[in-house]
Structure 1
């Protein structure tokens, strides 16, 4: 029987040594120009050799060399690189290990030589003299990811104005069938050269919706003639329990209003293709060769580059084995005090969708940053070709208002038997929601939602409004006059809820939401909330549970948590990793997960300990905003230029 050969990472460990430089995951590894280079301490279980070459990342120039040195089994060898860090910028130390009986392996370690930063800049990233972002990675190369590829058409592209192909006026009674018939009619039209069929226009007025509406074909948009006041509740359930009274109050509206009636919990609008799995033969996959690919990188080496072509859509699969689950402590979540069931984590993988943009020898470059490091110790990674023929595209909803009509139950408290979700975009790409205001949609599945099969979705200039009613304790209204907001007891109320990849929520508003701007479990990212406001939040906007990765809260004013939720829920644990809170305001928790980081940069407001369930993340410039004002906007400008900003309203 053939014996399995141990891997390099099982036989050798490498540490960086330097008097002044941080050598920790998630903390910039910085030396001053003129200081000595970092040294490498190599502990090996097997004899061999090691050599080190230092390269300047921007120029590609080799700037220092440590000649090959012997390694003795069981001993620590310290490799000192001669000279000093004379050249400013990011440098990569390539250590080549040759252990007896194993093929050679090259691993990379990083430091940045920098002297002083521009005023009001972060230590993690800043705008350089050329007006572009400079990133300061940690010693393994992890850095702030590039989030600019989110949103419609991969970012920087204006949402199209789709021509009207069907028009409806409001009619008495249930309008569900009429609207669905118009959508189906437009869905049967041919696609134009932009992949568009046309819009169904709902003239201003009130449309009762007793069921659900579906868009299942590419190129179809549902459009109204306005959303009305985006921060004002039109329907007060404390005053307008009677449907006729509500309709009378809405008569003459200058907006298009979808009035969701009935006592069935449901989603009003479903924009979705079909889930069609495509079997990938072994000939279309390959293992990643690098022992470590850092978060924020967009290139890596693969075993079989010849199996791929530029333009291929691929999945980068990052494994998390049992050793990794143990490393992050999620196999020993403590029990809940109330006896609630806890599920310990088991190994899992994350699958990131990318497009191949370049292939050079065995090195593949993809279109956007990796949102989680790929580490051989924790199972490594692989890539495979990906097809999803069931997805639809060029679809959206815009310029309308939706109200979920309901009445209190017999105890006088909120009755959940009503339409509680508005729109879900799933198994689609290049879709949008814009200029849509919702009232009283309060589900745990999200009033606005992107599903796991979605990519490149923009939700903008939209609101989710929920009344903050007085709390009824089962015998009568709370004599203190406290509200649901003040008692913090009401479940549901997820406003903008992202589960897909590459979603952008910008310039949106949430009133009396419980989780206003939130992401689900194991979300692969990137996803961005930009210039959003949560008013009177019941609790946190957050990655909610189980290692969601790669999100950005950029200029968001709300309660935000990036933390270890430990035994909350069913064992939600480390909810988010490699998240960034940039120039946020309000209350913020930011913990550092093992093997990753969360960055809190330029936050103004309270720093909350979050129950002290984890160590602090990377906090920088607490109490003062940094430059640039928006990380996402600057990254988009760096990648696509000023025109991309104008196309997206910036």
Structure 2
């Protein structure tokens, strides 16, 4: 284990030597450019595996929600193999109507279609409901030991943290490292308020009862322990003093791992007479309470919110070779966040999106590293990049945006006081209408190889730098088995000349006569050249159907009735307390949630479920029952 740590440290140094000639190794405070390559499924140390099919789902007419969910539940009940997988559910070709939502809530379960093209598998989210089409989520039941302050300061790029009594920790434990926001730091950042009467959305300091608005959390595994030092499995992406850095051991029994969605088309119905309709599906796929998950080769159409939304309870995710077309919604906040992460160590690669609002971006306090590699946004209505407060260790590598702003900037009051959005983040060989890369106080941002109008700090502007991909250069330095992944990158011609010799000019002219390859077509070509293997229906893979009945339960559920001011059920008088709701001001900040959130019925926070967000009404009913609350006295939604 100790040798593994030493090799990881060495790989970072090698990676830095492979990049642009003037690539800085560290700043005057000793902060490194992070190794962004620790993003993705298994931190990109392993390729996404093939999982054997254990349930085949033939096509049916009508609502297939319960039908497909039964197959998922069957595979979820199977034992895991030595690699941590239970099996895959393969859907037949054709269109499956989904009136409800599908959920994967067990580890090692893959939902696989028979292709994302016209002749493949389509899940059609029908009706006027906003229910998430596919939710991959475990239980939020994590626990921590009390916080312990770090004994030494942390620098950007460190893969270790020092603590007193390190002998109390164990190798392979998962720890949470938190960065508290001090008053001095917020003052230095000048984020107390944003002018006018905006102090209420300025960044706030935490205390023992309420967290800070800008408290960042990294999950890391302990690889080795030496003296007072815990060696980690991925770099830390923000500098911390001993007053800011804290460590806790984390346990999370209900978290799932190694589950996925792949090889299908997801579509939402909508009111075709209303091009801004919002009474239909918002979120196609939501990943929550999980690690080492993936989404690949999925095409999305007409969703109002996100194609893939990753919450802050998720780490080590790969989303690749996906395309999003023709979203339907109003143009504004919380809509069209096409590929969005609030989590850590997430890799989004070879993705295409059009007509989004924030097509590619990180949410509030996204604890890096996170990487967007070779992504393209066309006809976007706003920006990609860091969308909300203080995302650290963000990489945009080979991004191309037609008419798009790519920004790591200070958004001020936007998003309820986002302020500075990115720190210790990198733009590498990116092209956009405008690129904004300012340097925040107390941190760095970098940009190498940029095309477009520029604001902030840039090196090698209006030119390409080598290698084509920083992510894959860093990964190759610590993991030689990356050739299969590198060849999946769309080739980019980085040659240019203002006065080329005749032979080179002739090559340029010949190339100009051929239509340039577009990323959206390159993604299609990969799926044609390397299709995922499919199985035929068999007796063995339809065993799950014995456990499924198409007969609907005829059991009637008795309802409460109100008769002359008295609530009754089954002719018995009901008694209990009532609970109210609070008007929601739209905030999703941790401080607000800890202090003011209560159960609600009409609150809508796209992609986020739980008290303070979009309440699960079944969970809310169970909570009311446990507290002897009979009714919720609900004001109309605001």
TM-score by length of 2: 0.69
Which residue does the alignment assign to 1:519?
A: 362
- Picking from 47, 53, 59, the partner of 1:164 is 53
Query: Take 2:171 and 2:486, find their aligned partners in 1: how far apart are those partners?
Result: 28
Q: Are residue 351 (structure 1) and residue 217 (structure 2) matched?
A: yes
1:625 and 1:468 mapped to 2: Cα distance? 36
The 5-angstrom pairing of residues 336-347 of structure 1 reads 343-347=201-205
CA spacing shift, 1:360–1:491, aligned 2, 3 Å: closer
Which structure 2 residues correspond to residues 225-624 of structure 1 after superposition, within 5 A? Answer: 225-228=114-117, 253-280=118-145, 282=146, 286-290=148-152, 292-335=153-196, 343-347=201-205, 348=212, 349-376=215-242, 379-408=243-272, 412-443=274-305, 446-466=306-326, 492-558=335-401, 559=404, 560-586=406-432, 587-607=434-454, 609=455, 616=456, 618-624=457-463
Tell me the distance in 2 between the aligned counterparts of 1:167 and 1:505.
Answer: 29
Q: Secondary structure at the match of 2:293?
A: strand
For the aligned residue pairs, the C-alpha RMSD in angstroms reads: 2.5
- SS of 1:514 mapped into structure 2: coil
SS in 2 for 1:570: helix
Q: Distance in 1 between the 2:339 and 2:199 partners? A: 27
CA contact (8 A) 2:276 2:328 kept: no
Richer in helix (by share): 2
Count residues with an aligned counterpart.
465
Q: Offset at 1:408?
A: 4.5
Compared CA separation, residues 171 and 501, structure 1 to 2 (3 A): same
> How far did 1:413 drift?
3.9
Gapped regions of structure 2 (runs ≥ 5): 1-5, 206-211, 489-638
Residues 462-496 of structure 1 show CA distances to partners (whole Å, capped at 9, x for unaligned) of 01112589xxxxxxxxxxxxxx9xxx768711110
**Highest CA radius of gyration, 1 or 2?**
1
C-alpha distance 464-288 of structure 1, shift in aligned 2 (>3 A): same
Q: Distance in 2 between matches of 1:335 and 1:545?
A: 20
Superposed CA offset, 1:275-314 (max 9, x none):
112241x5xx642122x32111222332222112332221
> What secondary structure, in the 3-state scheme, does the structure 2 residue paired with 1:504 have?
strand
- Structure 1 pair 279/369, CA: closer, same or farther in 2 (3 Å)? closer
- Measured in 2, the distance between the counterparts of 1:209 and 1:397 equals 16
CA offsets, 1:7-63, max 9 Å, x none?
xxxxxxxxxxxxxxxxxxxxxxxxxxxxxxxxxxxxxxxxxxxxxxxxxx99x9xxx
**Cross-structure match for 1:179:** 68
Q: Which runs of 5+ in 1 are unaligned?
A: 1-56, 61-89, 91-113, 126-135, 229-252, 470-483, 610-615
Whether the 8 Å CA contact 2:292–2:315 is kept in 1: the answer is yes
Give, in angstroms, the shift of residue 576 of structure 1: 1.6
Whole-angstrom distance in 2 between the partners of 1:124 and 1:551: 17
For the 8 Å contact 1:466–1:511, the answer to whether it is kept is: yes
Q: CA contact under 8 A between 2:54 and 2:87: conserved in structure 1?
A: yes
User: In structure 2, do the counterparts of structure 1 residues 649 and 210 end up closer, same or farther at CA, with 3 Å as the change threshold?
Assistant: farther
Written as runs of structure 1 = structure 2, the 5 A alignment for 1:96-245 is 121=20, 123-125=22-24, 136-228=25-117
Report whether the alignment pairs 1:644 with 2:492: no
How many angstroms does 1:364 deviate by? 2.5
Which segment drifts farther, 311-320 or 583-592?
Answer: 311-320
Distance in 2 (alpha carbons) for counterparts of 1:506 and 1:159: 13
Partner SS state of residue 238, structure 2: coil
- Summarize the Cα distance change of 1:649–1:341 in structure 2 as closer, same or farther, 3 Å threshold: farther
SS at match of 2:319: strand
- TM-score by length of structure 1 reads 0.68
The equivalent residue for 2:493 is: none
Structure 1 outlier segments of 4+, above 6 Å: 488-491
Q: Distance in 2 between matches of 1:462 and 1:255?
A: 15
SS in 1 for 2:143: coil
